[in-house]
Structures are given as structure tokens and as C-alpha cells.
Amino acid sequence: SVPLSFFGGIGCASKNGVLVKGSNYLEALSHAQTVVMDKTGTLTEGKFHVTRQKAVEITPEEQLELAALAESASNHPIAQSLKEAYGKAIDTERVEDVQEIAGHGVSARVDGKQVLAGNAAYLEDAGLQPETPTEIGTAVHLAVNGVYAGYILIADTIKPDAAQAVQAFRQAGVSTVAMLTGDSESAAEAVGDTLQLDEVHAKCLPADKVQFMQAYRAKLAKGRTLVFVGDGMNDAPVLAQSDVGVAMGGLGSDAAIAAADLVILDDKPSKLGLAMHIAKKTMGIAR
């Protein structure tokens, strides 16, 4: 039988905007040893702004338009941000044959031209040689009809409560706070340094994230647990590797919210710190 106080704990969490899908997750949370977090949309806002454009062979206006059109069918935070930066209504009749490759980017036919938009690895796989920007940020590289067309450098902001969240995890006894991201080393390290994370792994493909989770699991002490926190984009396989899978409710995909054990409705990572505190109190009462 489940002690009554568990319901008290779940109710308290829910009053604070954290949906807990079962008392077992509250118990698991109270024993967290390792918290693994996604970057984009989890520790950062997931709203990128353009910091610089390096257009090659085309004008910056054409470059941004092609990027926004190629990304028109995607709901990835990068795609949403490029559409916002473009700022004009998108005529979807101009876009055909859209393909999105998780952790890489998109390909589409725009006005009859073959457009690729994504990270350096994605363009390298297509036989192109993207330039490496010297500034910190996330470069969205473009190719038009097989010719490199430069990059759009975009930057995201760390959420105001992210540092407080990391501090709360440590107070709750978490010994490792790690970040896994598909983004560049420079963007990842900027966040890792600011938040003083224990470990940062950049340029992760979805399969790499699963492997890192398995490695973190192997390092758990007896009775301790592994928590993953993500925004939901492509996170379902990683959520499945955790004892407690947490999704950001506002930005997350419906699939991730369904797959998660805990949902943070207002996307504030510090709410997980609060949930840990509630979990510990609940366990104290339950025993």
C-alpha cells in the first residue's frame, strides 16, 4: 500500500506546477545521484536570435529567406527562431520534399532549388566544406544546389533560474550534474562554464545521448537514481534510459510529455529542485 503522504507530496508538487505521474517517481527523485540535462529549451530559453550572418554566393536576405523556408515545416527551436528572424509570412507552396534529420538539420526544395540547412557535420556528410565561425554560438550552415552558401550564427540565452536549479540539485544530494547537447562545443562550453556543470558533452547525436545515459547508469551507487531533463525534441529514447524522465511542458512535444514521468509546466528548471526537496520531505514523512 502507498503511504498517504505520497499523495501529499504529489499534490504539493502539482500546486507548484510539477506533474508527477506516480509516487514511485517521487521516491526515485529523492535518491537522485546524477542529473543529466539537455541544453536547448531546458537550460536555455530555446529562443535563438541571429548574431551574425556570413553569406557566400548569395545575399544575406536570400540566405535568411532560404533558411526560413527550408525550416518552415520543422518545430525545432532553431527552425522556429529562423522563421521569426525572417519575420515574413511563409508561402508553403514554395517548399517541397522536406526532410528533417534529427541532430543534423533539414533538406528541402525551395523555389525548385535544393537547400540544406543544418550543422557542420550535416554539410560535411553532403561533401561540402563549411567554414568554422570564430565567435561563440550555433552556426546554421546552408547549401544551395550543392554549393556552400555560408552560415547564420545564432545564440540562445541561459534561463534566469538555471543556476539556482543546479544549486538546488546539489543541495538535494546530487553529485553529478551533466549536460548532453547536439549543439557545438563553443555553445555547450559557454553554458557549462556559466553554470559550473560537472560534465558537458557536445555534438551528441540522439544515439550518443543514449550511450552517455548508459555510462551514467553504470556509475550509480546502489539505491541511487539517474534523472534526465529535456525539452522533448528527439528526447524520447533518452527519457527511456532514466529512472525519472522530466520534460518541459511548455516547449516539449506531446510525445515527450506523454513519455515523461514528471512534467514541469512552466519550463523552469528550478522547479525540479523544488520537486526534489518535496520528494525528500515526503520520504522523510513516509518512513
- The residues binding ligand ADP (CB under 6 A) are 38-40, 71, 74, 76, 78-79, 100, 103-106, 117-119, 138, 140, 181-183, 233-234
Q: If binding means CB under 5 A, how many residues of this protein chain bind Mg ion? A: 2
How many CB atoms lie under 10 A from the CB of residue 181?
25
Q: Which of residues 54-93 bind Mg ion (CB under 5 A)?
A: none
- Residue 260 touches which of ligand ADP, Mg ion, none (Cβ within 5-8 Å per kind): none
DSSP labels for 102-122?
TTTEEEEEETTEEEEEE-HHH
Asked if 38 is an active-site residue, the reply is: yes
Nearest approach in angstroms of CB 101 to ligand ADP is 8
Nearer to Mg ion, 166 or 233 (CB): 233
Task: Show the binding pattern over residues 232-261: x = contacts Mg ion (CB under 5 A), - = does not.
Answer: -x----------------------------
Residue among 212, 217, 218, 215 at smallest CA distance from 200: 212
Cα separation, 145 vs 135, whole angstroms: 27
User: What SS3 state is found at 246?
Assistant: strand
Nearer to Mg ion, 40 or 282 (CB): 40
Residue carrying the nine cell digits 560534465: 199
Residue among 142, 103, 101, 144 at smallest CA distance from 123: 142
Nearest approach in angstroms of CB 116 to ligand ADP is 9
Q: Residues 119, 124, 128, CA angle at the centre, nearest 5°?
A: 110
Instruction: Give the binding site for Mg ion (CB under 5 A).
Output: 38, 233
Residues belonging to the active site: 38
